[in-house]
Structure 1
């Protein structure tokens, strides 16, 4: 059996700063469910949705919402374990042949509706090995050396609109060839940086404050619709 493109949602249970964050409610759904629903809404691209977890509550919720669950071993569920370990374990645990993996992090629950469609078109058109989403930073950045601030991307007095463009990895979406993940790589050296300048790119839930901001945006979105 062959699933050409699968989505993997890594949802381990050991968050310290925001305990049980993957199962905390955001709007009407637990956090990880937002990524499951996003994957299911893109069923023309995604052939199967897998949640990798070591947490019983996350497993029950994922099954309730129609995802397949891969039980993640404790040995690859620690704080310091890279995400690619979970992705690789999923690929090694299923019997289907996979070509592309779409990584959806539950901590980035809000995504523009057409994001995957547009990103996947670029991924295929440019024949990419991997693609990840980036957003432009409008901040004046610098380093502190010997108790002095040293500007990094601007000169003192320069206007923000004249800054040289810098970008950050926003975590909304990753698309990678399965063969790369089996070699322990998510973002290859020639990865395509897919630019997303949307307010959702600023949502990455790691603290209670992050969660409150996401709730505010979600409520604002529902109110406007």
Structure 2
């Protein structure tokens, strides 16, 4: 029973054309996640890129990943990530126990993060684990042109807030059996807290990409 990494990377992207192969430093975004998986070869046995795009496929092979051709029916804007993961598992002839999901749009990760998360996953015999980060901002809603605080009371200090958390997308580890049932984050999934500046990088817009490039140069 083995652990594999899957990197979904479809070709269609409306906000940033060819987003997954835009350069961050000297490497395409996709390559950063492939190399991260390779650096953790003591955990990850095989690396698969799921794509519908010929250029992405070429780059994936160039950097040493295996490619699963994603059908058009699973490559639309509204198609959930789990469908790509499930398609990979159904396409390979391998006895996979664990899947590490690495998103190309989260190219910057703390060096030892996967080792720490996988250790927790194994020690606690979890079926699913994913990374989250705390947020100490004051949130609210605007209803009928009036602001309604959500997680605080007016006048409360930011440092006194009970923190909210967000799914930062750095990595996910899930039993393959769950993915085959269309689940990435189970009801019992463990939220692994990551307080690192890289958790703020999730590339969806050109501003996100500019910020990632700034951090990459700085780090």
**How far did residue 165 of structure 1 move?**
1.5
Provide the residue aligned with 2:179 in structure 1.
181
Separation (CA, whole Å) in 2 of partners of 1:214 and 1:198: 13
Number of matched residues? 219
Which of 20, 27, 30 is the aligned partner of 1:29? 27
Q: TM-score, normalised by structure 1?
A: 0.97
Separation (CA, whole Å) in 2 of partners of 1:32 and 1:156: 44
**How far did residue 64 of structure 1 move?**
0.2
2:60 matched to 1:84?
no
Which of 88, 91, 94 is the aligned partner of 1:93? 91
Q: How large is the RMSD of aligned CA atoms in angstroms?
A: 0.5
Provide the residue aligned with 1:7 in structure 2.
5
Separation (CA, whole Å) in 1 of partners of 2:195 and 2:129: 16
**How far did residue 59 of structure 1 move?**
0.2
Provide the residue aligned with 1:164 in structure 2.
162
Separation (CA, whole Å) in 2 of partners of 1:148 and 1:121: 47
Q: TM-score, normalised by structure 2?
A: 0.99
Pairs within 5 Å for 1:97-108: 97-108=95-106
* Structure 1 segments unaligned to the other structure (5+ residues): none
Give every structure 1 segment of 4 or more consecutive aligned residues whose post-TM-superposition deviation is greater than 4 Å. Answer: none
**How far did residue 10 of structure 1 move?**
0.1
* Structure 2 segments unaligned to the other structure (5+ residues): none
Separation (CA, whole Å) in 2 of partners of 1:139 and 1:133: 19
**How far did residue 147 of structure 1 move?**
1.2
Separation (CA, whole Å) in 1 of partners of 2:54 and 2:137: 41
**How far did residue 144 of structure 1 move?**
1.2
